[in-house]
């Protein structure tokens, strides 16, 4: 059995409920369309360089909420070394908003 639980147009995400045929096990899947985030990150990367600042901060990436929520659950957001590793990883390069390393 499969049923949509929630659709969030602002985040371009949806939650889908999946249950096995016996109905005794289920999974909630969260999907997010990240194409808009990737497009905006690419535009920002073109417009900035590794020295561009936003006030007191430096924006380095736009991470989709579904990925960020997973990082929170795994405790990565409390580990500065792990966050640097993730933000510098080649797998997440499409979400980078500027060149350089964190």
pLDDT in tens, 39-59: 999 999 998 876 766 677 788
pLDDT recorded at residue 69: 92
Q: Contact at 8 Å (CB) between 66 and 32?
A: yes
Question: How much is the pTM?
Answer: 0.73
What does the block give as tokens for 82? 């792990």
Dihedral pair phi/psi, residue 18, rounded to 5°:
-120, 130
Bridge partners (DSSP) of residue 20 are: none
- pLDDT tens for each residue of 70-79: 999 999 999 9
Per-residue confidence at 82, pLDDT binned at 50, 70, 90? very high
pLDDT over 70 at 17, yes or no: yes
pLDDT value at position 71?
96
What count of other Cβ atoms lies within 10 Å of the Cβ of residue 16? 15
Number of H helices, E strands in the chain: 3, 3
How far is the first Cα of the chain from the last one, in angstroms, to the nearest whole number? 44
């Amino acid at each position: 059995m499969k049923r949509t639980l929630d659709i969030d147009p602002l985040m371009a995400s949806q939650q889908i409920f999946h249950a096995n045929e016996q109905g005794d096990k289920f999974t909630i899947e969260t999907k997010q369309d990240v194409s808009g985030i990737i497009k905006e990150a690419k535009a920002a990367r073109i417009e900035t360089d590794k020295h561009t600042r936003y006030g007191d901060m430096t924006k380095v990436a736009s991470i989709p909420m579904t990925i960020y929520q997973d990082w929170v659950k795994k405790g990565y957001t409390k580990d500065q070394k792990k966050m640097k590793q993730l933000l510098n990883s080649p797998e997440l390069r499409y979400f980078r908003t500027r060149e350089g390393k964190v």
